[in-house]
Amino acid sequence: MPADMNDYFKKNGANPPRPPGIPPDFLKNFGGGKSALIYVAIAIALALLVARPFAIINSGEVGILVTLGKYQEEPLYPGFHVIIPFAQKVIVQDTRMRVANYSTAEQRGQASDPRGISERQPISVLDSRGLNVDVEITIQYALKAEKAPYAIEKLGTNWEEKIIAPAARDVVRSIIGNFAAEELPQRRNEIAEQIEKRMREALEKIDGQTIELQGVQLRGIALPKRIQEQIEQVQVARQEAEKSRNMVEQAKQEALRKAEEARGLAEAERIAAQGVADRTRIEAEAQAKANALIAASLTGNLLNLRQIEVQGKFNEALRENKDAKIFLTPGGATPNIWVDTKDPQRVSSTASSAK
């Protein structure tokens, strides 16, 4: 290489190009002790990275250990596990709850956490009269951790497609086929209970019972347009009939209220009249008792005393009016006395009675 080129590289802080046939510096020193150890360590690290003689199982997962094609019955639970490279491998399976949504296109893809959630078309079935009905359901299930090796060995990693989807379609079709389309909205709760019960029974019949059903929700039933219109018309008619019944019941209640008010007013008037009659009767009885007591008190001695008192007043009248005219009116316990004088200026009338 020309001298001026070397000077150029030196001035710019760069290494000049290596002449052809001269090995790099690190290869020249490969036989040294420290460099050899470093290269061996790097080679081992690369071999471990490629071979991966270990497996890490996260929480909520299990591992299925496969040794030369044979599945180990006991699953690998969360943690660090050492395996034999190239002779063993680990198939990791999620054991957390999974969700299968059978819903319309508008509702699919709205899940906030897509992990473990599968969106599917509604289940299309026929009712008892052959009308098409779309059923929307949500199935919640999980792979049993202790059964995971058996499930993967027998069904493979796509066990959901082989078990959940067929079971859901068969169960829904067998149940909806027993009802007419217009009956479905009114018997929704009954249908939902039957679907969950039948799904549980279907999964329990699977060899090994590898899946745990956690719940089934009936989300919707899409009826044919003609049936939906008929149901809406029936509902409107029922609402009108209910409104009429309510009006009749209100009128009936109003009539009963007025009748009760009239009966109450009549009862109040009767009670008032009875009170007046009772008061009059009580007063009459009291007066009769008083008269009876008075009559009982008028003995012969008392009458004689009253006559003596009248006689005394009669004598007093004669003493003051010697020329007076005296009239005696018999009757009662004592007589009445009128004293009439000749002097008009002194005309007086005295009426005396026993007190």
Backbone angles phi, psi at 107, to 5 degrees: -95, -15
User: What is the C-alpha to C-alpha distance for residues 249 and 232, in angstroms, rounded to an integer?
Assistant: 25
- The Cβ of residue 73 has, within 10 Å, a number of other Cβ atoms equal to 11
pLDDT for position 22: 54
User: What residues have CB less than 8 Å from 313, skipping those under 6 apart?
Assistant: 337, 350, 352
pLDDT for position 351: 41
**At residue 48, what is the residue type?**
L
Farthest-apart Cα atoms in the chain, separation: 197
Structure tokens at 118: 């599968």
Structure tokens at 33: 């002790």
CATH topology of domain 98-223: Tetrahydropterin Synthase; Chain A (3.30.479)
3-class secondary-structure state, position 251: helix
pLDDT for position 271: 86
pTM value? Answer: 0.54
Structure tokens at 269: 């008037």
pLDDT for position 160: 86
- The Cβ of residue 335 has, within 10 Å, a number of other Cβ atoms equal to 16
| Burial class of 88 by CB neighbour count within 10 A (0 to 12, 13 to 18, 19+) | middle
3-class secondary-structure state, position 142: strand
pLDDT for position 331: 52
**At residue 295, what is the residue type?**
A
Query: What are the mean pLDDT values of the chain's consecutive 10-residue runs (355 residues total)?
Result: 51 54 52 66 70 85 92 92 87 92 68 68 89 92 92 88 91 92 88 94 89 92 80 75 84 85 84 84 82 72 72 71 59 51 47 40
